[in-house]
Chain A
Amino acid sequence: MISVIPEIGHLALLLCLPIAIALTVLPMAGAAGRWHLLQRSGPLLSSGLWLFLAVAFACLTYSFLHDDFSVVLVAQHSNTALPSYYKFSAVWGNHEGSLLLWVFILASWTLAVAYLGKSLPSDMHARVLAVLGGIAVGFLLFIIFTSNPFERNLISPPLEGNDLNPLLQDIGLILHPPLLYIGYVGFAVAFAFAIAALIGGKLDAAWARWTRPWTTVAWLFLTVGIALGSWWAYYELGWGGWWFWDPVENASFMPWLAGTALIHSLAATEKRGVFRSWTVLLAILAFSLSLLGTFLVRSGILVSVHAFASDPTRGMFILLFLAVTVGGSLLLYALRAPTIKPLATFKLLSRESWLLINNSLLAVSLAVVLIGTLFPLVMSALDLGSYSVGPPYFNKLFLPLMVLLMLFMGVAPYLNWKHNRLTPVLVRPWYIVSIVALLLALLAVAFLSQRYATQWRFGAFVTVTLSSWLLLMTLTHAGLKARRFARAKKLSSRQGLLSLSRSYWGMVIAHSGIAVMALGIGLTSSYSVQKELAMAPGAVADVAGYRFVLEKLEDVQGPNYSATMATFGVGRLNEGALINGLSIRLQPEKRFYYAAKNVMTEAGIHGRLTRDLYVSLGDSLESEQWAVRIYVKPFIRCIWLGALMMAAGGLLVVIDKRYMTRQPVRTDSPSGTVASNEQAMV
């Protein structure tokens, strides 16, 4: 019985193209000619686009869940033995399906803008939707002509599928691509706002104010997506690393850096009307880098885990699309930017100039990553040799930049807009906080060096000092600000803290997140202990104050694999004796997946905030002996905790009261008056 579902999906996908073309042309023409009916057609067309894509996506999902191997994609990436939640994630665990997800998420963002953006002036609203429609057209053409997910093999459909790449059979990979794409594609909204504003010639505070929440939502999803990818690489690849400067990681990190710069420069543009043309450029850049990321990952030109099937026509298409989008928007920018004049001036010691420093540092970091990622590709394209850029390149350049960034970040909240002096509250905490941070770092490093029996680690000392300094500076500012506010309004200090705006708390939490993440990075890199050795059942290894005993090896069966599972008992040592017995159990596995004939390592991890115990199996040596890799990784969880705090901060900003109101925003330019200190910087 041949299912008709894939054909329905295919038809729905084909119908999306004319709708997307209409969405590009009609509202734009309506806005240009002031035809109200056309101008208001955007929401209806966006709904249509979303609906048909939802049908296409649902049909593809149905085919995966029901093992319809007459669909080539399903036969290549799924298997009857695959658990159904992995069948579901297999929908986007491949090139075609992930592009369908990309464009479906784009349609969802478009729908959101169509209905949540009704307070926008109608011509602006129409143009934004049209630009989003145009992006959808490009991607739909790409999917339909080069990467059709509904391609079928009706003559001799295979009885069994090839199975999903075992690396992708993991909970992290169910969530990682959608989150990352929501972030990536979300920058399309910021881009559309920028292009619409350039076309309409109206780059004012209102424009910045509309763009901010959208950009922040995209940014927070991207943050969580990248963190999840890093977490997945950590526990799934079995190497204990959390960031490899792999081109695919860089591909998602570059839009994040641009997006981070963008949300900060948007703040200055909204509040003070400065950096307008830079902000527009950043919006274009953030989305262009998302497209570049898509190109790098999807064209298969990279040597990496994520390299899917390679096909030059696909690469050429995305490259062409990239050239048209970036070239077109930069041309528009070049034509319009000279007319953009800053609306205000500011002094050297002001929040504006600090934001400028923030943006410069982020831009340089971005350049570092971009050059390191593209250099090998350019060299090999020009046939000048096959190079790879080692992680030391990135670390050597990136770390000093981040140190500078954190130093400026600590001071930033204490500066007022426009002003030429620090708020009086800064002078006092400055000394105290610095001294406290130094003392904390001395204590922490002395303790950790003793605990992990290492020498004095300078890197750890610097990171602990810097992180605690940033954390204390940020929290102190919140405390002082609340106290000042409470005194002025005769409130209790608790009420004072509660009365600070959500977006201010967002900034506090996001900046604290940076501090926590830096702490994790610094301590993990300084104190991680790694041991590789051969172990047979009964063997004992003492690593960094823990005793690891290989208790037994056994064969286990999974739904689509067989595995050797080792059981380790682990206990804390004190002066050579176990304190609490072998109370921790770790069970790493070596899996053999039948369908793809792949061997996979599953690490055994026991995590605490202060340390991870990590064991993974290497290869089996002779007679019951296995090569075993044991890690003790202090504070590695702080890295992901920090990322989650940043995302939580972003969320608080978005739910701030001033973005929650649906009233039309005033469209006049900001006056030259100093914005009050209550208005938060993000």
Chain B
Amino acid sequence: MHPLRKQRLMIVAVIVVGASLATALITTALKDNLNLFYEPERIAAGEAPLGRKIRVGGMVVPGSIVRDAETLAVTFVLTDYSADVAVQYQGILPDLFAEDAGAVATGVLNAEGIFMAEQVLAKHDEKYMPPEVAKALEGKSASDYKSSYSDDNDSDPASEY
């Protein structure tokens, strides 16, 4: 074969083999590491898978944050004003995590319906709301929502929102 052609053939072969190998690996890795976002409403409806890593986002219900000072374990409740999800987390929460502010948690939903978070992200600043939380809250308003958790509050839940 002409050396130039032979060289071309070699290059093409390398590209074909490499590209198919890369595609296969990328697809597998991507499939294993995609974390789908669920609104609290869909989790309450039982749409979210158990034991698989997912993300959930909503507003942090005022008065729902309970912390153990010794172990740094913390539980709180996320809501989209139509359903609630209890979240359990171990460790330090981000600076901007606060009551009545948006937050997104990544973790696994267990059989008791409690979300075991490995990571919690809060909105970045005063104006900014995680887009997924904003979307989850779309068309829902705080006023027509009464959380089962806000009953524990001293204050009137209606005035909280």
- Where the two chains meet, the residues of A that have a C-beta atom closer than 8 Å to any C-beta of B are 165, 238, 303, 305, 307, 342, 345-346, 348, 356, 360, 364, 367-368, 371-372, 375, 385-390, 392-393, 396-397, 532-534, 596-601, 618-619, 621-622, 625, 627, 629
Instruction: Give, as a whole number of angstroms, the nearest-CB distance from B8 to chain A.
Output: 8
What is the bound-complex CA distance between A187 and B117, given in angstroms? Answer: 42
- Are A534 and B7 interface neighbours, CB within 8 A? no
Q: Could you give 6 example pairs across A and B, Cβ below 8 Å?
A: A364-B22, A387-B36, A389-B34, A534-B69, A596-B126, A625-B69
Q: Chain A interface secondary structure, helix, strand, loop or mixed?
A: mixed
Contact among B3, B35, B126 with A598 in the assembled complex (CB-CB below 8 Å): B126
Contact among A345, A388, A532, A596 with B72 in the assembled complex (CB-CB below 8 Å): A532
- Are B36 and A386 interface neighbours, CB within 8 A? yes
Instruction: Give, as a whole number of angstroms, the nearest-CB distance from B137 to chain A.
Output: 14
What is the bound-complex CA distance between A396 and B31, given in angstroms? Answer: 12
- Are B34 and A596 interface neighbours, CB within 8 A? no
Instruction: Give, as a whole number of angstroms, the nearest-CB distance from B50 to chain A.
Output: 18
- Number of B interface residues in the complex (CB < 8 A): 39
- Are A371 and B26 interface neighbours, CB within 8 A? yes
What is the bound-complex CA distance between A528 and B98, given in angstroms? Answer: 30
Interface residue? B131 (CB, 8 A)? yes
Which chain A residue lies CB-closest to B135?
Answer: A386
Interface residue? B144 (CB, 8 A)? no
B-chain residues with CB within 8 Å of residue A346 when the two chains form the complex? 7
Interface residue? B156 (CB, 8 A)? no
Instruction: Give, as a whole number of angstroms, the nearest-CB distance from B117 to chain A.
Output: 14
A-chain residues with CB within 8 Å of residue B135 when the two chains form the complex? 386
Instruction: Give, as a whole number of angstroms, the nearest-CB distance from A361 to chain B.
Output: 9
- Where the two chains meet, the residues of B that have a C-beta atom closer than 8 Å to any C-beta of A are 3-4, 7, 10-11, 14-15, 18, 22, 25-26, 29-30, 32-37, 53, 55, 67, 69-70, 72, 91-93, 95-96, 106, 124-126, 128, 130-132, 135
- Are B67 and A390 interface neighbours, CB within 8 A? no
- Are A390 and B36 interface neighbours, CB within 8 A? no
Q: Which residue of B33, B70, B126 has the most chain A CB atoms within 10 A of its CB atom?
A: B33
- Are B126 and A389 interface neighbours, CB within 8 A? no
Q: A307-B124, A307-B128, A345-B7 are in contact. Are A599 and B95 (CB under 8 A)?
A: yes
A-chain residues with CB within 8 Å of residue B25 when the two chains form the complex? 397
Contact among B18, B92, B124, B125 with A619 in the assembled complex (CB-CB below 8 Å): B92
- Are B35 and A390 interface neighbours, CB within 8 A? yes
The 5 closest A-B pairs by CB, nearest first: A618-B92, A393-B33, A386-B37, A390-B33, A599-B95
A-chain residues with CB within 8 Å of residue B67 when the two chains form the complex? 621
- Are B14 and A390 interface neighbours, CB within 8 A? no
- Are B10 and A348 interface neighbours, CB within 8 A? yes
Instruction: Give, as a whole number of angstroms, the nearest-CB distance from A279 to chain B.
Output: 14
- Are A388 and B37 interface neighbours, CB within 8 A? yes
Q: A596-B125, A598-B126 are in contact. Are A618 and B93 (CB under 8 A)?
A: yes
A-chain residues with CB within 8 Å of residue B95 when the two chains form the complex? 238, 598-601
What is the bound-complex CA distance between A368 and B18, given in angstroms? Answer: 13
What is the bound-complex CA distance between A534 and B135, given in angstroms? Answer: 36
Which chain B residue lies CB-closest to A592?
Answer: B95
What is the bound-complex CA distance between A672 and B6, given in angstroms? Answer: 18
B-chain residues with CB within 8 Å of residue A388 when the two chains form the complex? 34-35, 37, 55, 106
Given contacts A618-B92, A621-B69, 5 further A-B contacts (CB under 8 A): A303-B131, A387-B37, A390-B106, A392-B29, A534-B70
- Are A389 and B33 interface neighbours, CB within 8 A? yes
Which chain B residue lies CB-closest to A304?
Answer: B124
Contact among B30, B35, B126 with A597 in the assembled complex (CB-CB below 8 Å): B126
Q: Which residue of A364, A375, A600 has the most chain B CB atoms within 10 A of its CB atom?
A: A364
B-chain residues with CB within 8 Å of residue A367 when the two chains form the complex? 22, 26
